[in-house]
Structure 1
């Protein structure tokens, strides 16, 4: 695939520095060319020092959104994004190492495509002893295929759009 489209990855965060660190570590080593993507972390009022964490990742920029809510934070990220493509994930997500590459490929492979949304795998804190809530979430929550096919939207934990 020829890489020539710049991608802005937007990550809203609220008091999840541990999850965000893992997410950013994976985003720093994507198979997509580093020169063709930026990562924008939008802090949504955390008491944790998210700005300091973000400063440890040279490909990542930081901004604040004081209005509560992940959608307000995502919109703030969109307002400063430079990308022709916008990719969304969340601070508690661990993208695959080829997430950007595959997301862009799928977005470009369908003429007049508005968005693509990928699978979201829910993992258990303790894989040997999942809680009832974790099992319920894995069975019922974030079913991207259903969202796309039936409702024509995708969850922003794994979504690409222009």
Structure 2
């Protein structure tokens, strides 16, 4: 339940009840019956670029997008956005990279979209504040639901050790 610690006691109680019945995996499979088809870094890059072009046309370009096996969900990181600044001649250039935990290669598209939207929002908003979450919900109106369901999936993985997709 560590992934759900920020939620209300009422919500946690409902999740515990479903878990006690052994139905958490079943509930998630009902909501999200199949995994996405984005399996390699190139496809992930194209997917994130499409989101960027649709919602953040004026934002800085994304130089690299990749699945990363070194990101550990245990540390509550689902993805990472990094910005590296370099001096080139008389100019300061920033290079933006997005990395997504490898385990998200085989999940529903909604989970991957939530992570991509979250990391893209960091290009414009660095802090997790009201403006950041407003931007996330602009890009994905169901952002908070998908985030919750992703956390449910991580809770299922902790409890059962088995993947659903």
Alignment TM-score, normalising by the size of structure 1: 0.27
Higher-Rg member (1/2): 2
